[in-house]
Structure 1
């Protein structure tokens, strides 16, 4: 069985750096714990994915398209077809004072941000810090073991999956489906999210493509707090006692 472009599926997977057989990503909580990178904030469950969207390496996307539900697939991808070769020009050196200004203790292995670039500290010493801005997978052959667990057909579940792929969670979102439009009622969490302004464009694009509609409505509700009786809010203050003056 092959899937069609635009199908939304859920995938269980384990991703390895092939030459050293090291697991670096997984949807399995137990495997993440065994590998030492378990994150309690991450939800370990089959990942939602839009077939043919190109949001993973091309060879992996093609393998997913040809897969069958419930059948495990193993695929190796050479570095040139994955994250590409390492670029020495992406290893940069900064004065150590730049880190101290940001109250960062520059130790090797620490992930840091400079502007819109994210890198990993390679070394620190003699007043200088070397930072590698290469993709962590650059220069590495990869192996993926994955199983497509389901094809999502239900409209609401598809909408939840699209939000989850972009925003990380669909908790609190609700959906209404009309003629040539989808309305998304947004939870309060998006009002305070720095990522939401960018993520919403991905959601709108994927919703249009998956549901074949022209209009996506993002509904943000700001409710006024219920009025309370002013008399209940104000506590009556006891009358001030007059001090007696001795004559």
Structure 2
């Protein structure tokens, strides 16, 4: 049966631009291309079609396909990261940087991230466009399966947004309960995206009335006490006759 908007699928893909891979679900490919991130979770991703969980041009390609389809698609800039806009290229005094700017350096100026493309005298030319703006992208993909189980769907969304696979999920009587591991509030990525996750849970599951996040702290185990070592008895002193 052809896939349609609203379907959850497990997907394997690799994206490249000009022959250079910039994104992949395959760990070995990431290592070979020098883009491996040891903190990232590799492997197939679970996405919901129609929700822009992947590049729009890739998503458009997937809708209408069958499970098991392997394919390739060229994605034009307007369905990827947009056209390159010269208005987003600015000249910035080098005094605004903590270290001396150089070509290719990623910098942040007034909360906006960009790349130094040139340094002229005491000013740096910074391009604030997305690095892939204006480029046609190439994707290869495999649709592995359709995900029907709601717990697996939600687990996939959590991994997609936060990279975490250690959150327990239960669904009962219109309530989705997430069992959070201790100290998750120190995970910046989770804190940034959890609001989006909650919004999507209400949007995708009309029967859900409550989303509960429960953080549990188990009592620390007491350290084992070292066994007492009996003091050695003093040997009787020899007496002189």
Superposed CA deviations along residues 163-191 of structure 1, whole A, max 9, x for unmatched, are: 111112222x1122111111111112421
Residue 170 of structure 1 corresponds to which residue in structure 2?
Answer: 165
Contact 2:94 2:100 in 1 (8 A): no
Residue number in structure 1 paired with 2:47: 49
Q: Which stretch has the larger CA shift, 189-198 or 21-30? A: 189-198
Task: Check if 1:209 corresponds to 2:207.
Answer: no
Q: In the alignment, is residue 2 of structure 1 matched against residue 16 of structure 2? A: no
Gaps of 5+ in 2: 226-241
Number of residue equivalences: 223
Does the CA contact (< 8 Å) of 1:6 and 1:209 recur in 2? Answer: no
Q: Is the Cα contact below 8 Å between 1:91 and 1:134 reproduced in 2?
A: yes
Q: Give yes or no for the alignment of 1:181 onto 2:175.
A: yes
Partner of 1:244: none
The equivalent of 1:74 in structure 2 is 72
- Residue 59 of structure 1 aligns to a residue whose secondary structure is helix
Aligned partners of 2:3 and 2:67 also within 8 Å:
no
* Higher helix residue share: 1
Matched, 1:28 2:22: no
Q: Name the SS of the counterpart of 1:49 in structure 2.
A: strand
Kindly indicate whether the alpha-carbon contact (under 8 Å) linking 2:180 and 2:213 is maintained by their aligned counterparts in 1.
yes
What is the RMSD computed on CA atoms of the aligned residues? 2.3
Q: Normalising by structure 2, report the TM-score.
A: 0.82
Q: Which of 115, 120, 132 is the aligned partner of 1:137?
A: 132
| Partners of 2:32 and 2:52 in 1: CA distance | 30
Q: Give the C-alpha shift of residue 220 in structure 1.
A: 2.7
Contact kept, 8 Å, 1:67 with 1:73, in 2: the verdict is no
